[in-house]
Amino acid sequence: MLQIIKTFFKENDKKIIFTFLSLYILVIISMIIQLIIGNFQNALYCILALILFLIPYIIDKKTRISLPNTLEIIILFFIFSTTILGEIRNFYTTFPHWDTMMHTLSGIICAVIGFSLVNILNDSNRSFMRLSPVFVCLVAFCFSMTVGILWEFFEFVGDFYFNKDMQKDEIVTKISSVKLNEKGENIPVILTKIDKTIIYSNHYKKTVIIEDGYLDIGLKDTMKDLFVNFIGALSFSILGFFYLKKQEGYKITELFLPKLKEKE
């Protein structure tokens, strides 16, 4: 890993080096603090972040794909924001819309990756056919949405088997459910203006009273995450479509697109 880091500093742009070094130092400081206070799970998050920071460089070094500086910086900040700020500094609960921003950005980044994979194949001499702009953007959109869905599967597994509450609970004041239909009919009973919910565990002999509503166990969080992922994916897919149509006003898209390196 040390050799990779040394090579990284020799071959990269000053902006990338400054961003990488600044975030790397912050993560190391955070890891030391977590080790001192004995929070080894958060220390593992820091180690994970340090490893993930190297992925853009490894891709750039080990493949014929060149990542633009803008995309690399966004990826570095995204990794830092999700692992260090989100998990360790608890931004997910401190700032109500932090999770929403991360899922929106994730949707955009994954759309960029999906778009670039197909576009690179289009530009490759080995490609036996050239795909239309509509198809390229459709692949980008579907790729991003698939990654978002797989992540929600991962969160569900974390909640269901390991009780991590990754799909964050939310207090709601209205529910509709056929389970509440006393006649057993497939007609939902609607409850509005729920004042409180009482949860009793016979196993633990414990009663929990939830004031001001009913506890929604992650459904709204999951659908919100998928919806903002949809917005991010769709936004970049539309931008990518106009870029492929060679409209000069959309040249900004090139700042985010990985390119195939020229043969040396």
**Averaged over 145-163, what is the pLDDT?**
95
Residue 145 confidence (pLDDT): 97
Residue 263 confidence (pLDDT): 61
Q: Measured in Å, how far apart are the chain's first and last C-alpha atoms? A: 26
Provide the whole-model pTM: 0.89
Residue 101 confidence (pLDDT): 97
Burial class (CB in 10 A: 0-12, 13-18, 19+), 134: exposed
pLDDT exceeds cutoff 90 at 120: no
Q: Indicate the pLDDT class of residue 128, thresholds 50, 70 and 90.
A: low
**Averaged over 223-240, what is the pLDDT?**
96
**Averaged over 37-60, what is the pLDDT?**
92
Q: How many CA atoms lie within 13 A of 19 on its CB side?
A: 21
Q: Rounded mean pLDDT of the chain?
A: 89
Instruction: Tell me the pLDDT tens digit for each residue of 216-230.
Output: 888 999 999 999 999
Instruction: Tell me the pLDDT tens digit for each residue of 67-101.
Output: 898 999 999 999 999 999 999 999 998 998 999 99
**Whole-Å CA distances, 78 to 49, 71, 100, 246:** 10, 10, 13, 29
Residue 8 confidence (pLDDT): 58
Quote the Cα angle for 64-234-57, to 5°.
25
**Averaged over 134-149, what is the pLDDT?**
96
**Are the beta carbons of 73 and 55 closer than 8 angstroms?**
no
Q: Quote the tokens at residue 240.
A: 């990518």
The DSSP call for residue 71 is H
Residue 245 confidence (pLDDT): 87
CA distance 180 to 191: 10
Tell the residue number behind the tokens 């579907």, with chain if given.
142
